[in-house]
Amino acid sequence: MLYQICNGAVRFAAETVLEHINFEIRNKEKIAVVGRNGCGKTTLLKLIAGEVELSKRDSDEDIYIARAGKPVIGYLKQNAFEDDSLTMEQEVRKAFSELLAMKAEMERLVVLMEKENEEAAVSRYVRLEERFAYLGGYSFEKEYEIVIKKLGFSPEDKQKKLSEFSGGQQTKIAFARMLLSKPDILLLDEPTNHLDIATISWLEGYLKDYDRAVVIVSHDRMFLDRVVDVVYEIEYKTAVRYPGNYSAFVERKRLNWEKQQKDYELQQKEIERLQTLVERFKNKPTKVAMTRSKLKQIEHMVKIDAPARYDLKSFHADFQPARESVTDVLRAAQLRIGYDRPLAEVTFEQKKGQKIGIIGDNGSGKSTLLRTLTGQLEPLGGSFAFGDRVDIGYFEQQMAQYTSDKTVLEDFWEEFPDLKRLEVRSWLGAFLFGQEEVFKKIDMLSGGEKVRLALAKIFRRLPNYLILDEPTNHMDIVGKESLEAMLKAYPGSVLFVSHDRYFVKEIADSLLVFENGTVNFYPFGYEQYWEKLQADEKERQDQQADGKAQPSVKSTVVSAKDRSPEKAVDALEPLKNVADRKGYNPGKEEAKRKRRLERLEMLIAQKEEELAAYQSQMKEPSIQSDFEKLMELEALCTAADEQLEVLMTEWEESGS
């Protein structure tokens, strides 16, 4: 057992957040903590991190936290920077402070051993080197470069001050430092926020291969399915442990509820039968013994409680658009989107009732496309046009940061002054703003509550075309499922951006994918896109098996060392000072120079193909989840870049 909470409770003033919490981290488990917003998930993480203490209770129960040894606990927090004047590199490399100190000490010991072959110094060096190797001392520099790159940062970003990055980017930087510090217990609160699908896929592989414990709070169902092997659900202020991933938890919980419900119903029938017998014979002198026996049987029965209903308090508004649109709702032709320069060119058509999801890397142009379509940005080229009678409802990400000193009721009614009070209360109630919630100030709402209020306003306008930019951000799993149900029943058209792959798979019947600098349309949705990725991966593997593709990663590591920049061109005869040679012939030398240029151009083309092959392999799903291979490919790309630079320099000199 690495870590254990026994009968834990956390109270803030008079409010009990957690009660009778039993929680265990066993060895290298990957644990998910799930539950409704506000149930205490983050409080549990803070308790594990030592930022919150157990509350004392008036009972004889054992209440304690136990740890095996002194495990290092890392907790990814928001706004975790003590000094935002530091550069990104300075902040992230704090993760290697111990390794850097060990490296400096090892270098000092080497110098000492060269001068004086002291046994103590040798022994100290051996112990230190073993620890250094165990902590990844010989790979941390490469790992640093890979993590930074996979989180979407450029080499130039390393020297930027923390204060120059956006809030989302700062979260990524804190995340990078946390990953690279490799604590014994890694605590992650919504780690997939601000990450695109490609990065999430890489993170899945990284965490699965992480050789220490991880505790994750997340509403990303597909992410949890692919990473965790244990789920704790916090419900009614306590936690229940379920083995398996998120899908296994959902199924196990359903089966447990059904079994308890069945057992409860059977027991109630038996109690009813016994009570009927007692009532029938209680006044008959010959049946006194029997009735007493039946009453004792009921009294001594271990009562089975009726299972509590799932906490499925969800929002739902069943509405029809005010009018129908034409069949062709949107057409975009070579639409170039961007700000000062084009980010992408988009061509697609959308029919009435079609739901199109948009996925892709951060910064690729997904939200920019929505802003262009809604008139917030001018197109940089091409064209787009909506069909007749298209009424748009637009949800922006920024709506979760909406501020106002008005109450929910005042804010909503102000936008729909023609509605009666009962209509307003009824509509807000459908979005979980009940008797008390409608009088809450907007500024006091959570991000999830602000999203619900924004959706309530948008849907009340009865549009027939929805444009949604990350609508599930800040929502818990039940909230996402509620929105999924609404959109599935919605007869209008939908165009939406989301990083939630499960949500995309459930809603989108077609897909726009911003990938590799292009925008591709998949008419049959996420499954078609995933099958394409799998087919590409299988084709690559088949080609490798047939000897038609690039050498495997393992084999190319060795060959890359052999193909140094010097050896890449050593077969080419130098041209310097050729005029000093005996028998110098200008015509022959010119012909030789041209052949040399052709040879260099061929080598450059080969090296560019090799580099492109490595880069392509790095984007493949199987490689994204294999950290070791990813590091090797990164090294190969660096070597190929260096060799290409040498060849290009030689080509320029030969051509002058």
The tens digit of pLDDT for each residue in 295-312 reads 888 888 888 888 766 545
Q: What is the pLDDT of residue 582?
A: 45
- Provide CB contacts within 8 A for 234, sequence distance 6+: 18, 33, 34, 35, 39, 40, 41, 44
Q: What is the pLDDT of residue 90?
A: 93
Quick count: other Cβ atoms within 10 Å of Cβ 53?
Answer: 10
Average pLDDT over residues 487-498: 95
Q: Which is more confident, 586 or 234? A: 234
Q: What is the pLDDT of residue 504?
A: 94
Alpha helices in 34-75 (DSSP H): 41-49
Q: Write the secondary structure of 94-109 as one string of H (helix), E (strand) and C (coil).
A: HHHHHHHHHHHHHHHH
Average pLDDT over residues 19-23: 92
Q: What is the pLDDT of residue 590?
A: 65
631: exposed, middle or buried (C-beta count within 10 Å: 0-12, 13-18, 19+)? middle
Q: Which is more confident, 468 or 206? A: 468
Strand partners, 507: none
Q: What is the pLDDT of residue 358?
A: 96
Based on C-alpha coordinates, what's the Rg of the chain? 32
Q: Which is more confident, 78 or 375? A: 375
* Nearest to 145, CA basis, from 92, 66, 186, 206: 92
Q: Check if the beta carbon of residue 431 is closer than 8 Å to that of residue 317.
A: yes
pLDDT tens-place string over residues 221-261 = 999 999 999 999 998 889 999 999 999 998 998 898 889 88
Average pLDDT over residues 28-39: 90
Q: What is the pLDDT of residue 555?
A: 31
Q: What is the pLDDT of residue 15?
A: 84
Vertex 550: Cα angle to 547 and 551 (nearest 5): 75
pLDDT band for 453, please (50, 70, 90 cuts): very high
Average pLDDT over residues 290-294: 87
Average pLDDT over residues 188-209: 84
- Alpha-carbon distance 74 to 68, whole Å? 16
Average pLDDT over residues 546-558: 42
Residue 452 phi, psi (nearest 5): -60, -40
Please report, for residues 28, 287, 544, 605, 630, the alpha-carbon distance to residue 517 in angstroms, rounded to integers and kept in the order given.
39, 87, 26, 21, 21
Q: Check if the beta carbon of residue 537 is closer than 8 Å to that of residue 620.
A: yes
Q: What is the pLDDT of residue 325?
A: 95
Instruction: Of 212-216, 453-457, 516-520, give the lowest mean pLDDT range.
Output: 516-520
pLDDT band for 466, please (50, 70, 90 cuts): very high
Q: Which amino acid is residue 64, in one-letter code?
A: Y
| Six token digits for residue 45 | 């993480």
Average pLDDT over residues 64-83: 82
pLDDT tens-place string over residues 35-63 = 887 788 989 999 999 999 998 766 667 88
User: Does the structure show a pLDDT above 50 at 645?
Assistant: yes
Q: What is the pLDDT of residue 552?
A: 41
Please report, for residues 194, 443, 459, 537, the alpha-carbon distance to residue 401 in angstroms, rounded to integers and kept in the order given.
15, 9, 19, 41
HSE-CB at 535 with a 13 A cutoff on CA atoms is: 6
User: Does the structure show a pLDDT above 80 at 65?
Assistant: yes
Instruction: Of 85-94, 476-485, 642-651, give the lowest mean pLDDT range.
Output: 642-651
- Alpha-carbon distance 476 to 414, whole Å? 28
Q: What is the pLDDT of residue 447?
A: 80
For the stretch 354-364, what's the b/e string if a residue is b when 16 or more beta carbons lie within 10 angstroms of its beta carbon?
Answer: bbbbbbbbbeb
For residue 469, the surrounding DSSP H or E stretch is strand 465-469
pLDDT band for 288, please (50, 70, 90 cuts): confident
Q: What is the pLDDT of residue 122?
A: 82
Q: What percent of the chain has pLDDT over 90?
A: 39
